[in-house]
Structure 1
Amino acid sequence: MTTSSTILHLRVHRAGFETYRELFTVLGDTTPVAQALPPDSALLDLAGATRYFALTPAQLADRLQTRLAARYGLASTGGIGPNRMLATLAADAAAPGTVHVLPEAPAEWEQFLRGRPLRALPGIGPALERTLARYGIETVGDLADLPLATVQRIAGTSTGRLLHERAHGTDRRTVAPAGPPAALTSTHRFDRDVLDPAEIRRALLAAAIDLGARLRAARQIARTLELQVTYADRSSTTRSRTLREPTAHTPALQQVLYELFAALALQRARVRAVTVRVGELTAATQVAEQLTFDRLIEDARTLEPVIDQAGRRFGPGAVRPAALLGR
């Protein structure tokens, strides 16, 4: 584990995918060790930058926030800690627009870590959280107080060892320099935490329309589709699928999104945001389009060029399904 607090987890608010890609030019001016965490975050190892610029990690974070605000008008929130996990937990605890810096003294950041809920640790999802809760384990401190053998008996040998390490603040993952992948992303953040599945499906429909139009405008098709659902506690679930055939057609994207969402079987989950990402992009001219015998699908494909033209002339959303009226 890094011995000083030099890892920055930076979360940018309301940045579109193209803007998000551009941010890495600014981040790269500070440190070449920057890793994209789509759709809105990045990890930065500031160890070399602190020596080069003769600034503290907190000063470098402030410098980055100022540059992002000046260049893109974007607010950002960050956390600084001795490793990836602790930096992310610090960012989660930071007030919007600020940077939470964990103290370098282990005794002090250990106290911060012990008070976090179990779900804050990477590797703990809803099912494992419920299992641990049955044993009265509700916080990271509760988990840290257990012997390794007990944690392994509950969670399994490898998972138990990993959780035991992380409950004590150890994260062996490094920051791997990597920019945003070749993909298109559409994110919808709700004004309030949402329980109604119909409202979530409307957001997914809007994402399918947005991504379909952008793919067709770029004359590209996608081979993969990914859905990320972010909950009220900032945890998230991600599901992906390789499409039966590469496509840029909105109805095909919509159908797969609905299937991915239905497969999550969410019950009373409070949803804060949904993010849809299409990847493995290919030029549309390189793949032959398969014809169907479904009249509704063919009619929708026929209408798409008309809708796209209206969008270019009158702006995105000029023509939209009745289900999205009022959005």
Structure 2
Amino acid sequence: MTQRKIIHVDMDCFFAAVEMRDNPELRDKPIAVGGRATGRGVIATCNYAARAYGVRSAMASSEAMRRCPQLVLVPGRMSVYKEVSAQIRAIFRRYTDRIEPLSLDEAYLDVSDAPHCRGSATLMAREIRAAILAETGLTASAGIAPNKFLAKIASDENKPNGQCVILPGQCAEFVAGLPLRKIPGVGPRTAERLAQRGLHLGADVLKHTAVELEQWFGKFGPVLHQRAQGIDDRPVRTNRIRKSVGVETTLERDLQTEADCLAKLLTLLPELARRLGERPFRGLSVKLKFSDFQQTTVACPASSLDPARLASLLHTGFARGGGRGVRLVGVSVTLAPHSDPQLSLL
């Protein structure tokens, strides 16, 4: 069986980088792409200069300006981002047709059988990043590993404008020392629950059986046990047809009021819009998970990200909690049946 070679390419602060490229006056300033600080504007993404002040994606623009008064807020230009994304995907196709887009700014590439660079995925990733820089003026980071899980984590190791390779023989050692909070699906609250069981690193997980982990963490337990061994058998899906697009966040502390839930929910909209692009959709839903881990979803027909409609859905869902705190909020859309699942994404 051929050893899989997966590259995860992740553009560096993509929206903000495009704005700095197109307006050189912004290059040495902290900037963020997002809504106005007056009202309920939120940050979609920001550059590294802004991150040094604690500005982050999904943060309220007013809070971002409080942390960084000199922050330059730039409105998003989705049509431009899509055009650049298409350029980048064309570069990917020079190396493989097995591409799984995750959003406008990141994708998995399966180069297991690619003949380029004498079959070296590390060299291919280097060439891909160099081509992206030369042809778009933007930097990208990459992770190279035998599976998607490790490739995605590796792409974040040497950001910005770097890459990290995890060879097959290094997987066990890498995961053994991996903080569990870096595993996709482990949010702040889950990390806290793991820590309560004495689980901080991958090596800690393997002191227990998959059955024990399932008893403690439900269906995520066996998945965590596999990830702690560096196992991920998911293929790169080139023809994945998505029926929905969503964003959710597990909260550091349970929210007790409907108003706080709505404020948090609205901060998720820029990321949802980024993942959605311009694909049409026909339904909108809000998801809440309560303090006892019971959850509810409220949905309605919709074709726009209308805050008033979201507020109405949240009102219905929050009432179902009967006074319980909320530990997770999420929002998603149901895609129109004939929308292009890839939409020229990265």
Shorter-chain TM-score tier: 0.5 to 0.7
Pair 1:38–1:257, CA change in 2 (3 A):
farther
**Secondary structure, in 3 states, of the residue corresponding to 1:30?**
coil
**Secondary structure, in 3 states, of the residue corresponding to 2:10?**
strand
Counterpart residue number, 2:109: 44
Give the alignment of 1:187-226 within 5 angstroms: 222-225=281-284
Pair 1:64–1:140, CA change in 2 (3 A):
same
Query: Is 1:117 matched with 2:179?
Result: yes
Superposition CA RMSD, Å: 4.6
Q: Return the alpha-carbon distance in structure 2 between the equivalents of residues 173 and 185 of structure 1.
A: 20
Counterpart residue number, 2:146: 82
Q: Tell me, which stretches of 5 or more residues in structure 1 are unaligned?
A: 187-196, 229-238, 270-274, 284-327
Provide, for residues 66-105 of structure 1, a one-character-per-residue CA deviation record: whole Å limited to 9, x for no partner.
222222222211111111111111112223111111133x
Q: Return the alpha-carbon distance in structure 2 between the equivalents of residues 280 and 242 of structure 1.
A: 16
Pair 1:261–1:101, CA change in 2 (3 A):
farther
Query: Is 1:14 matched with 2:14?
Result: yes
Q: Tell me, which stretches of 5 or more residues in structure 2 are unaligned?
A: 16-77, 248-259, 288-294, 339-346
Counterpart residue number, 1:131: 193
Question: How much has 1:37 moved relative to structure 2?
Answer: 0.9
Q: Return the alpha-carbon distance in structure 1 between the equivalents of residues 163 and 146 of structure 2.
A: 14
Question: How much has 1:163 moved relative to structure 2?
Answer: 2.1
**Secondary structure, in 3 states, of the residue corresponding to 1:26?**
helix
Question: How much has 1:130 moved relative to structure 2?
Answer: 2.9
Provide, for residues 190-225 of structure 1, a one-character-per-residue CA deviation record: whole Å limited to 9, x for no partner.
xxxxxxx798678668789x89xx97xxxx963234
Asked if the contact 1:152/1:159 (under 8 Å) is kept, the reply is yes
Pair 1:276–1:111, CA change in 2 (3 A):
same
Q: Return the alpha-carbon distance in structure 2 between the equivalents of residues 227 and 67 of structure 1.
A: 40
Q: Which has the larger radius of gyration?
A: 1
Query: Is 1:162 matched with 2:223?
Result: yes
Question: How much has 1:152 moved relative to structure 2?
Answer: 3.9
- TM-score, normalization by structure 2: 0.55
Pair 1:33–1:204, CA change in 2 (3 A):
closer
Structure with bigger RCO (C-alpha 8 Å, 6+ apart): 2
In the comparison of the two structures, how many residue pairs are matched? Answer: 248
**Secondary structure, in 3 states, of the residue corresponding to 1:8?**
strand
Question: How much has 1:115 moved relative to structure 2?
Answer: 1.5
Asked if the contact 2:148/2:232 (under 8 Å) is kept, the reply is yes
- TM-score, normalization by structure 1: 0.58
Pair 1:103–1:279, CA change in 2 (3 A):
same
Question: How much has 1:276 moved relative to structure 2?
Answer: 8.3
Q: Return the alpha-carbon distance in structure 2 between the equivalents of residues 151 and 178 of structure 1.
A: 33
Q: Return the alpha-carbon distance in structure 2 between the equivalents of residues 227 and 143 of structure 1.
A: 32
Percent identical across equivalent pairs?
A: 23
Provide, for residues 11-57 of structure 1, a one-character-per-residue CA deviation record: whole Å limited to 9, x for no partner.
113145513651322222211111011252101111122x2552411
Q: Return the alpha-carbon distance in structure 2 between the equivalents of residues 261 and 58 of structure 1.
A: 48
